[in-house]
Amino acid sequence: MTKIIIEHIEKVDDLLLFSRAYQKGTIKVNITKLAEHLGKDRKTIRRYLKGDVPKKTKDRIKYLDQHQAYIKQVLTDKYQSFDYIDHLFKYLQREKKITCSRSTLNRYIRKNEELNTLFKRKKTNQFTMRFETEPGYQAQFDMKEKIKIIKKTGEVVTAYIPTLTLSWSRYNSRILTLDTKTETLLSFLAKTFEEIGGVPKELVIDNLKQFVEKPRYKDSPAVLTSTFDEFCKDYNIEVKPCMPYRPQTKGKTETQNKIVEQLKNYNGTYQDLIDMHDQLELINKEDNLSISQATKFPRIFLLEKEKGDLNPLPTKEVRQKYHLSLNEVYVSNESLISYKSNKYSVAKKFIGLKVGLSVIRDELHIYYNNKIICVHKITNHLLNIKKEHNLFYMKHPSNREDDLSDEHIIHEMRHINYD
């Protein structure tokens, strides 16, 4: 019988075919010969013949396997960019509603050779001494410069993200701008102070040329620009410029600048500037609702406690002079605004609303609620329409598209058909 069994088995698992007969005593086998044939211990052979087999661990299906193709897709996209695991985690939470922890995603990426190769993380370890401040005492201002944001069309928008961080609560306020004019930055600070309901006693800044005429050095104080100096006096703020090449002094905003890198996660998906504003608002809201590693509390929770320690706002008349100086116009039913007798398009959601116009060199910048929503090149054409605004006009069938004059299009604007 042993010879017959040997002829029909190749591995120890095959002994299970004979275990019932062996247990009933129907067959007798030579344990030693079976052990020699299979290269196993005699005790192992007996266990298998008795059916006493250890349970095998099943190949477990990992939760993130169902998202692996999508993760690979976004990591290989020619526009989207992920510098941190945390950014990828938050992106997947928003887009795929994943329920695993951040550490689970991190392990999954690191253990997958292909995904780990696609994901490159740059990290520098530096020791920075922490300085804690009292509630309402200090805020830090910084700016994320020249972040490249890409529209669906492949058009690259160079944006700037001013950030104000309250040092005690770690609450952050951010906005997306296309320029770094003094007027734009002061408007951001004025609006932010109004939103949080008060003014910190001290403001830590970098040596921005818009604010600082002469940088601070060891033996000499900084010299502020006259416009910024007047702003600080109006808001009763003591300014504390950093020394050159010492970004650690305002480490709270330097750290928070990494948050806005998440805007690049959506590169190639933005329809227009409005999409960019909306995404930044979502990122900023998530950030303020999250628990600060330093305080162990949500930033928005501590802001409510800090508000009572802020200095009061200056009068409305004082604040008004730091709001953006814009020429306000209404958006027509055709989703157009007028500038010097010519028409410029905006998104259809602004029909009937009042928007602000500002001219910068040869460009017309259009704002709504202090946010830039569109930029047009100023031309001599009667009608200037961006494709992203999806405005379509009925044309006379006898006319070819290239024969239509601006006057003819304007005449037919009453027949607009929207998507």
The enclosing H or E element of 85 equals helix 85-96
Query: Which pLDDT value is given to residue 390?
Result: 87
Query: Which pLDDT value is given to residue 57?
Result: 57
Q: How far apart are CA 188 and CA 200, in angstroms?
A: 15
Helix (H, G, I), strand (E, B) or coil at 289: helix
* Angle formed at CA 253 by CA 248 and CA 258, multiple of 5 degrees: 100
pLDDT at 252 over 80: no
| pLDDT tens readout for residues 188-237 | 999 999 999 999 999 999 888 999 998 877 677 889 999 999 999 999 99
pLDDT over 70, % of the chain: 85
pLDDT at 62 over 90: no
Tokens standing for residue 152: 């669906």
Q: Is 272 left (phi over 0), alpha (psi -120 to 50) or beta?
A: beta
- The answer to whether the predicted template modeling score (pTM) of the entire model surpasses 0.75 is no
Q: What per-residue string of b and e applies to 98-121 under the rule 16 or more CB within 10 Å gives b? A: bebeeeebbebbeebeebeeebee
Which position has the token pair 């922890």? Answer: 101
pLDDT at 307 over 60: yes
Q: How far apart are CA 228 and CA 113, in angstroms?
A: 52
Look up residue 296 and give its DSSP letter: S
Query: Which pLDDT value is given to residue 56?
Result: 61
Query: Which pLDDT value is given to residue 1?
Result: 66
pLDDT at 254 over 80: no
The CB density around residue 24, as the number of other CB atoms within 10 Å, is: 8
| pLDDT tens readout for residues 322-351 | 999 899 999 999 999 999 999 999 999 999
| pLDDT tens readout for residues 362-375 | 999 999 998 999 99
Tokens standing for residue 59: 């190949």
Average pLDDT in the 287-305 region?
A: 89
More confident residue, 245 or 185: 185
| pLDDT tens readout for residues 92-105 | 999 999 999 999 99
For 339, list phi and psi in degrees, rounded to 5: -145, 115
Query: Which pLDDT value is given to residue 245?
Result: 52
Residue 148's beta-bridge partner residues? Answer: 158
Identify the band that residue 174 occupies on the pLDDT scale cut at 50, 70 and 90: very high
Q: Are strands 371-377 and 354-360 parallel, antiparallel or unpaired?
A: unpaired
Helix (H, G, I), strand (E, B) or coil at 74: helix
- By mean pLDDT, which of 20-29, 139-148, 263-272 is the weakest? 20-29
- By mean pLDDT, which of 217-226, 305-314, 350-359 is the weakest? 217-226
Look up residue 189 and give its DSSP letter: H
Look up residue 168 and give its DSSP letter: T
- By mean pLDDT, which of 179-188, 260-269, 355-364, 393-402 is the weakest? 393-402
- By mean pLDDT, which of 139-148, 202-211, 254-263 is the weakest? 254-263
Q: How far apart are CA 115 and CA 72, in angstroms?
A: 7
Specify the amino acid at residue 255: T
In terms of Cα–Cα distance, which of 6, 66, 13, 54 is closest to 30?
A: 6
Average pLDDT in the 348-363 region?
A: 93
In terms of Cα–Cα distance, which of 143, 178, 173 is closest to 161?
A: 143
Question: 81: Cβ–Cβ under 8 A, 6 or more apart, which residues?
Answer: 261, 264, 265, 267
Identify the band that residue 123 occupies on the pLDDT scale cut at 50, 70 and 90: very low
pLDDT at 139 over 80: yes
Query: Which pLDDT value is given to residue 349?
Result: 94
Tokens standing for residue 72: 């690979």
Q: How far apart are CA 106 and CA 114, in angstroms?
A: 14
- Average confidence score pLDDT of the chain: 85
Tokens standing for residue 178: 């296309």
Identify the band that residue 122 occupies on the pLDDT scale cut at 50, 70 and 90: very low
Q: Is 97 left (phi over 0), alpha (psi -120 to 50) or beta?
A: left
Q: How far apart are CA 75 and CA 130, in angstroms?
A: 35
Q: Are strands 336-339 and 342-345 parallel, antiparallel or unpaired?
A: antiparallel
Identify the band that residue 382 occupies on the pLDDT scale cut at 50, 70 and 90: very high
Question: 7: Cβ–Cβ under 8 A, 6 or more apart, which residues?
Answer: none
- By mean pLDDT, which of 16-20, 139-143, 193-197, 415-419 is the weakest? 415-419
